[in-house]
Amino acid sequence: MHVLVTGASSGIGEALARAFSSRGDHVSLVARSVSKLEALAAELGRAQVISADLTVLESIDGVVDRAEAGFGPVDVCINNAGIQIVAQTVDVPVDEGERLLRLNLLAPLRLHARVLPGMIERGHGAIVDVASLAGIAPTLGMVHYSASKAGLAAASEALRAEVAKAGVHVVTVYPGPVKTKMAAAAMDRYDAPPAMLPTGTVEGLAKRVVRAVERKRDRVIYPDFYAAARHLPGATRWVMDRFSPVPPKR
């Protein structure tokens, strides 16, 4: 299979690329950092590097064109690229907030539009949207991030039923706390660290995503401790409002 992974240069994206490559899949690695992608591609073997800034939405058609020129039609499209802003909303410059929304929400929707027609025509394919637990339980100090992930989660969940009869499967992924550099940087922004809760690994998450694609499962919530959040939104919202620390001003 040909698997396209955005945000593949580090963290969750790198782990997903490794996990699919280990099955023998061909992997298109998409991110801005050429050097990191090239090092990963050299290690994986069945991989190609596609350097792109996905906040430039007009570049996305070209990203898919380059991927398919190398490895053929995209069988699995993984929307993982994302950024976080941790600050009080009044301190977030408008252009920074909108850039986040382009990368976290609009770019995945563009990729949906680009790869779905071919998947539907072929009668098979999978889309994996990496949302966030913040899309279920919006987090103080992450207004733009929470909005983007809630939007992506809603789009992903709605798309599943729309394309299922055409043979295309959609997996919506809700990572909770996972050990990455981006997550650590976000936590460092708070004056007082959030309460210690179960934290997962990128490798653990990647294994579950691969399993979801293989077994056509609808969603992944990881670590498992957070699965109840989706079914108890009111209680989850109360906990978040009660115990989340307020981020500092910039």
- Known catalytic residues are 145
In terms of Cβ atoms closer than 10 Å to its own Cβ (0-12, 13-18, 19+), residue 196 is: exposed
Residue matched to tokens 């992450």: 142
Cis peptide bond prior to 233, omega within 30° of 0? no
112 within 8 A of 159, measured Cβ to Cβ: yes
What angle separates helix 34-44 from helix 11-21, to the nearest 10 degrees? 20
Q: What are the start-end ranges of the H helices in 45-142?
A: 60-71, 94-101, 107-122
What value, to the nearest 5°, has the Cα angle with vertex 67 and ends 20 and 154?
A: 65
- Of 184, 128, 120, 125, nearest in space to 153 by CA: 128
